[in-house]
Amino acid sequence: MRKQQIGFLGTGIMGLPMCGHLLREGHSVRVWNRTRSKAECLAREGAVLSDSAAEAAADNDVVIVMLSSGPVIDDVLFDRSGGAYSVAERLRPGGTVVVMSSIPVDTSRKHAVRLGKRDMRYVDAPVSGGEKGAVEASLTIMAGGDENVVTGVEPILSAMGRLTHVGPVGCGQLAKLANQTIVGITIDAVAEALLLVEAGGADSAAVRKALLGGFADSTILRQHGERMIEGKFEPGAKAATQLKDLETSCRLADSLGLNLPVLRLTESLFKQMCAEGGGDRDHSALYEFLRDSN
In whole angstroms, what is the distance from residue 179 CA to residue 161 CA? Answer: 16
User: Which residues, other chains included, contact 173 with Cβ-Cβ below 8 Å and sequence gap of 6+?
Assistant: 102, 103, 104, 105, 107, 108, 124, 126, 144
List, for the chain, all residue ranges whose pLDDT scores fall below the cut of 50.
82-84
Residue 72, pLDDT score: 85
Neighbouring residues of 255: CB distance < 8 A, sequence distance ≥ 6: none
Residues comprising the chain, all counted: 294
Under DSSP, the state recorded for 36 is G
Q: Alpha-carbon distance 143 to 292, whole Å?
A: 39
pLDDT at site 82: 44
**pLDDT reported for residue 86:** 85
Confidence at residue 2, expressed as pLDDT on a 0 to 100 scale: 64
Q: Is 176 a known active-site residue?
A: yes
- pLDDT, residue 267, reads 98
pLDDT of residue 68: 77
Go through the domains of the chain in sequence order and give each one's CATH number: 5-167 (3.40.50.720), 174-293 (1.10.1040.10)
**Please, is 200 exposed, middle or buried when counting C-beta atoms within 10 Å of its C-beta (0-12, 13-18, 19+)?**
exposed
pLDDT tens string 228-281: 999 999 988 899 999 999 999 999 999 999 999 999 999 999 999 999 999 999
Name the helix (H) or strand (E) containing 172. Answer: helix 171-199
The per-residue pLDDT for 75 is: 87
Out of 132, 176, 209, 232, pick the active-site residue.
176
* Angular region, 104: left φ>0, alpha ψ -120 to 50, beta rest: beta
CA gap 254, 50 in Å, rounded: 41
Look at residue 81 in the predicted model and tell me its pLDDT: 53
Shortest CA distance to 84 belongs to which of 50, 114, 117, 109? Answer: 50
pLDDT in tens, 222-235: 999 999 999 999 98
